A = this chain, B = another copy of it.
Amino acid sequence: MEQNFSSKLLERAVEEVSNLPGIGRKTALRLVLHLLRQDATQTNALSEALTTLRREVRYCRVCHNISDTETCQICSNPKRDSTTLCVVENVQDIMAIEATNMFNGLYHVLGGVISPMDGIGPSNLHIQSLTERVPKDQVREVILALSPTMEGDTTAYFIYRRLMSLNIPELKVTVIARGVAQNNELQYTDEATLGRALAGRTPFVGN
């Protein structure tokens, strides 16, 4: 729809908001008009929070997680097991794993996965710092928790080979389990997932 804005200021605001991924011009207009109905403090707080974050954002120098301090809260927590590293693609993955309360080690954020189509090679990811960190911090296990996609698998294999080339006999490299998702009905599970769940079956234990 060709939109004729009655105001250049409005048009510019809608333009900027619709630059965000997944936000079309209609949604952008709705959001902007919402802000106009609210008190000005809300718009100012939003703008201020975004610009402050963008200006002052820092990344943990150890794991590359977003952090307000040089070393993030997780890396600097002495109660966490520094000999176990969980390699993830991005910051959201850390949040998802932290929400499970099932992991007490440290993380390593790659910042993406290898994707030749998007021009992302190993050198664009935090892989070098991982291979330096593993021997330095006497890591015993590296858990690869990447997405179960072709790109994720490629990246996992690449990292596995790099870690193996370090020749550390006591280092274990593992991947998170693949199988049927909790509470998903079997009949609706796709073939690849179901096949993999069958192949990876484990002894039954009553719970």
Chain A residues engaging chain B, CB cutoff 8 angstroms: 1-10, 12-13, 15-17, 19-23, 27, 29-36, 40, 42-58, 60, 65-68, 72-74, 90-92, 94-96, 98-99
Q: A48-B47, A92-B29 are in contact. Are A9 and B53 (CB under 8 A)?
A: yes
B94 touches A33 (CB 8 A): no
Could you say which residues of chain B place their CB within 8 Å of the CB of A36?
53-54, 57, 66
Residues of B within 8 A of A7 (CB): 53, 57-58, 66-68
Contacts of A44 in B (CB 8 A): 51, 54
Contact A10:B66 (CB < 8 A) given known A2-B99, A20-B31: yes
When distances are taken between beta carbons in the complex, the residues of chain B under 8 Å from A31 are 20-21, 23
Question: Who on chain B is nearest to A63 by CB?
Answer: B6
A43 near B51 (CB under 8 angstroms)?
yes
Determine if B34 and A21 form an interchain contact, defined as CB atoms under 8 angstroms apart. Answer: yes
Kindly list 4 other residue pairs between chains A and B, CB separation below 8 angstroms, not including A9-B52, A9-B68, A21-B31.
A3-B99, A6-B91, A21-B34, A44-B54
Shortest C-beta distance, A88 to chain B (Å), equals 12
User: Looking at chain A's contact residues, is the secondary structure mostly helix, strand, loop, or mixed?
Assistant: helix
The answer to whether A98 and B47 have CB atoms under 8 Å apart is no
From B12, B35, B60, contact of A54 by CB (8 A):
B35
Nearest CB of B to A147, in Å = 15
Q: Which residue of B lies closest to A112 (CB)?
A: B37
Q: When chains A and B are docked, how far (Å) is the Cα of A15 from the Cα of B15?
A: 22
Known: A17-B46, A21-B34. A57 touches B3 (CB 8 A): no
